[in-house]
Amino acid sequence: MARTARIGHVRALFTVALMALTVGCTVSGNPEPEHVDLTALDMGRYSSVPLATPVNDAERYGRVLESVRLGEALLDPVEADPALSVLLEGDSVVPLPTPATATVLLSDAVRPVLEREGMVAGVATGARDRDSATGAVRVGGMRQLVAVVLRFGDAEAARRAARDIDAADAAVSAENVAVSIPDHPGAHGHWRPTAPTLAATLAEGSYVISLLVAHTTTDLGALTDLAHKAFNAQLPRLREFLATPPDRLTQLALDRDGMLARMVPEAPRRWTYPAVAMTTTQRIAGWQGGLNPVGIVFGPRATYLSFKRTADGGMVTDAAQSKRDAFALTGTTALIRFTDVKSARSAYARAVRTDAAADVIPGPTGLADAQCTQASDKPPMDTARFTCRVLYGRYIAVLSGAERTNTLQRVAAQYGLLARGD
């Protein structure tokens, strides 16, 4: 088996800062946004005037957007195993709009299959049973599940793809043995008797579910049981998902609920189009692969899966989790929308307390609801050297940058965009 045992580093710039926002303290009353004179803020080359949303005029954008939509149909790994509560490093929801991006999490051997069968879109999620801080995050030292959902043009293409994905992956090692998954006779799977991992692939309509299961034992029963439960959790969600017809991908809106228009662009006056870039060419079947989604807005389900633990690895309560309903990424900026102002204020207050142990630096002059930190261990041009968060209403933005003045100017513009969009 050639599959990776973890999702590659995605959104590494925001992992620590965003995890500080997963749970908020209780704040009484009804907080209101502060009123700031936007003309007094130093925004440098940036602007607080929202960009006009362009037209989706390319299928490649539509494939990314459909992959993001498919994130609303993902299983939660805890549905297969309650112990799988710890998010993988980087992102826990990864859009996979092309065969090239999908093979970062599968293997290079399956790429010809995906191209031949006309893969339309895809998405992945995953979790493990322990935090990397325990030192046991290695093959055989943890339980883990990575689920990849791929969409094809029709059911027949998906059926062929599921069969041939497994065959191509299994052929990488002569030690692989074909296995069956209980209650899923249409599933294809393989396993090496000496390795505590298993891969299984199943077609459902025009979709293919591809699983990588890792355990602390090579016991085939334990591995197939986890795959069985994962398929059981994923299948109903796919059956309920309303897919966009392939010829209508260019009709998908680039900006869900105006989230991207509320975000400071990566370059002044330049819209961030949806894309998923590979951030490294050094890959060992995805083990060291990185994917960086930009110009995307996750809906409630994918947002939930992106923030389903506290900063110390504990599970977030459903009540706290339901307060986030959208999450957007444009590169070095992330924007989280809460259901109400009070919940956003609570999460921001928690993050500020978390930052107290870091190297806090002053935020933009005139903004009370903005805080920045400096990472002294980062080299001067590292894009994560400075990290700032800013609160306005029910939105929290997290921004990273390599240069202090530019980062603070972006934060000021980000506040202005949120205030004007209110």
pLDDT beyond 90 at 29: no
Does residue 21 contact residue 351 with C-beta atoms inside 8 Å?
yes
pLDDT beyond 90 at 415: yes
Residue 4 resides in a domain: no
Domain span holding position 218: 59-246
Q: What is the pLDDT of residue 6?
A: 36
For the chain, the farthest-separated pair of C-alpha atoms sits apart, in whole angstroms, at: 68
- The verdict on 155 and 272 lying in the same domain is no
- The verdict on 233 and 313 lying in the same domain is no
- The verdict on 274 and 191 lying in the same domain is no
- The verdict on 214 and 275 lying in the same domain is no
> Tokens 């009370």 appear where?
368
Q: What is the pLDDT of residue 309?
A: 57
Q: Span 76-99, mean pLDDT?
A: 89
Residue 8 resides in a domain: no
- The verdict on 78 and 217 lying in the same domain is yes
pLDDT beyond 70 at 402: yes
b/e per residue 148-183 (b: at least 16 CB within 10 A) = bbbbbeeeebbbbbbbbbbbbbbebeeebeebebee
Where residue 320 falls among pLDDT bands split at 50, 70, 90?
A: low
Quote the CA–CA distance of 173 and 164 in Å, as a whole number: 15
Question: What's the total number of domains in the chain?
Answer: 2
- The verdict on 262 and 236 lying in the same domain is no
- The verdict on 400 and 317 lying in the same domain is yes
Q: What is the pLDDT of residue 7?
A: 42
pTM for the whole structure: 0.89
Report which of 314, 315, 289 is spatially closest to residue 5, judged by C-alpha positions: 289
Query: Which stretch of 99-108, 145-154, 284-293, 356-365 has the lowest confidence by average pLDDT?
Result: 284-293
CATH code (residue 81): 3.40.1000
Where residue 376 falls among pLDDT bands split at 50, 70, 90?
A: confident
Q: What is the pLDDT of residue 16?
A: 52
pLDDT beyond 60 at 311: no
Query: Which stretch of 173-177, 243-247, 296-300, 372-376 has the lowest confidence by average pLDDT?
Result: 372-376
Strand order in the sheet with 386-392: 296-298, 324-329, 333-338, 395-401, 386-392, 370-374, 360-361
Report which of 291, 392, 253 is spatially closest to residue 335, judged by C-alpha positions: 392
Quote the CA–CA distance of 74 and 63 in Å, as a whole number: 17
